[in-house]
């Protein structure tokens, strides 16, 4: 397997982008990433998208993007894994370059979610749950993650304020990100005073529906040295694991076993451990998801992540900044784009180009992207050498 590097990274503004189509967003991010990489053609592209057909009536997104970029002759593939679609697309691009199947690969994540109302969007997102045993009984994702939150609270004594502190922290980071959907400063009290969606989760503990796209250009590391005068960001590990689709099939609702497996595989591939990670983007679709993900990745012992958040450990300036982009909660969550957007943030950090949210001296970063309640888990470790 060849060493793979990221030489181009770009992201659109995230938000309610009613004036831009799914195609336009994907093209905007892709062209910007190609320009950043200094290339004008690719051998293959992978598009991460969850529900273009249900949300905007458009499938066959690989061919759509290749055609829009004037490269309709290349191998173009759409990748779907619920909210992990972007992370899976990055993994497929990595494998294509690492195996020698392609020299230059474009990975784009995109979703256009706000052209439908909230009820429709909720129904579409519910397709990532077990239809027969969960969705058909009326359980939505807020309800599923609320069960996980309650289990964590009962097992470890995690407080509602600690969960709210995750949202407050990520919004504080999002204010420093010009591409974020919400430049909104929140306190834990603001979060706790917002409407209850599914006890114990409040409205301000749930990621929004969003429009947006992000893109990366991958090449062999030897080629990266020729293309870029910047610090070369290597993909040190790309790992995937899974878990049961339905929560009822799991031994514990207070752990993300699939994330833990993917993280362990990534650490093994990279020859690193949790203490080597300087900055990390995790999948905070709900506040409890960040708590459970950081425990699954070994940053904190089970039950200890909540206290770390309240102590400022995961804030900018803390020992391990988590979700410096604002995370899904503040940056936004166009589901197919999220996994790619996470990698764009880590590339930006490792290049030293994150501006007001820069983590000083960051040389190793991680992304954790998951679909559903963690039935699909993807972890990447990026580094500059």
* Alpha-carbon span 104 to 220, nearest angstrom: 8
Instruction: Reply yes or no on whether 206 is catalytic.
Output: no
What is the strand order of the sheet 279-281 is part of?
Answer: 75-79, 44-48, 105-112, 211-220, 4-11, 233-242, 376-384, 364-371, 279-281
For 347-380, the DSSP string reads HHHHTT--GGG--TT--EEEEEEEETTTTEEEEE
Any residues with CB less than 8 A from the CB of 147 and at least 6 apart, and which?
Answer: 247, 253
333 annotated active-site: yes
From the list 83, 206, 280, 285, the catalytic residue is: 83
Q: What is the DSSP string of 135-146?
A: GGGT--HHHHHH
Query: Are 149 and 200 contacting, i.e. CB atoms less than 8 angstroms apart?
Result: yes
SS3 216: strand
304, β-bridge pairs:
none
CA atoms of 330 and 5, how far apart (whole Å): 28
Q: Looking at the DSSP assignment, which residues form a beta bridge with residue 211?
A: 15, 112
**Rounded CA gap, 331 and 291, in Å?**
18
DSSP string, 147-189: HHHHHHHHHH---HHHHHHHHHHHHHHHTT-TT-S------HH
Q: What span, in angstroms and rounded, lies between the C-alpha atoms of 278 and 183?
A: 24
From the list 171, 173, 202, 333, the catalytic residue is 333
Residues involved in catalysis:
83, 333
């Amino acid at each position: 397997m060849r060493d793979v590097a990221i030489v181009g990274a770009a992201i659109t503004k995230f938000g309610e982008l009613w004036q831009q189509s799914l195609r336009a967003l994907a093209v905007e991010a892709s062209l910007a990433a190609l320009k950043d990489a200094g290339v004008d053609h690719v051998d293959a592209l992978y598009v991460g998208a969850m529900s273009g057909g249900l949300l905007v009536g458009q499938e066959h997104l690989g061919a759509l993007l290749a055609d829009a970029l004037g490269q309709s002759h290349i191998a173009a593939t759409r990748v779907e894994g619920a909210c992990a679609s972007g992370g899976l697309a990055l993994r497929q691009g990595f494998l294509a370059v690492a195996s020698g199947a392609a020299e230059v690969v474009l990975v784009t994540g995109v979703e256009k979610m706000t052209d439908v109302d909230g009820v429709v969007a909720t129904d579409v997102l519910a397709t990532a749950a077990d239809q027969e045993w969960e969705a058909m009984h009326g359980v939505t994702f807020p309800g599923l993650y609320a069960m996980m939150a309650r289990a964590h609270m009962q097992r470890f004594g995690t407080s509602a304020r600690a969960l709210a502190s995750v949202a407050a922290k990520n919004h504080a980071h999002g204010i420093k990100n010009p591409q974020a959907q919400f430049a909104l400063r929140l306190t834990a009290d603001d979060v706790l005073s917002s409407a209850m969606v599914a006890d114990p989760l409040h409205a301000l503990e749930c990621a929004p529906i969003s429009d947006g796209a992000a893109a990366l250009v991958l090449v062999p590391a030897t080629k990266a040295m020729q293309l870029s005068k910047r610090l070369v960001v290597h993909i040190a590990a790309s790992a995937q694991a899974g878990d049961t689709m339905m929560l009822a099939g799991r031994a514990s609702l207070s752990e993300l076993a699939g994330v833990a497996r993917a993280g362990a595989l990534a650490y093994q591939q990279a020859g690193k451990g949790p203490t080597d990670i300087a900055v990390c983007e995790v999948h905070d679709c709900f506040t409890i998801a960040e708590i459970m993900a950081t425990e699954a990745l070994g940053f904190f012992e089970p039950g200890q992540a909540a206290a770390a958040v309240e102590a400022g450990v995961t804030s900018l300036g803390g020992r391990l900044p988590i979700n410096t982009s604002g995370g899904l909660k503040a940056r936004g969550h166009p589901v197919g784009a999220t996994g790619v957007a996470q990698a764009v943030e880590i590339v930006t950090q490792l290049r030293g180009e994150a501006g007001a949210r820069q983590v000083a001296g960051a040389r190793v970063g991680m992304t954790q992207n998951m679909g559903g309640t963690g039935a699909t888990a993807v972890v990447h470790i990026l580094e500059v050498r």
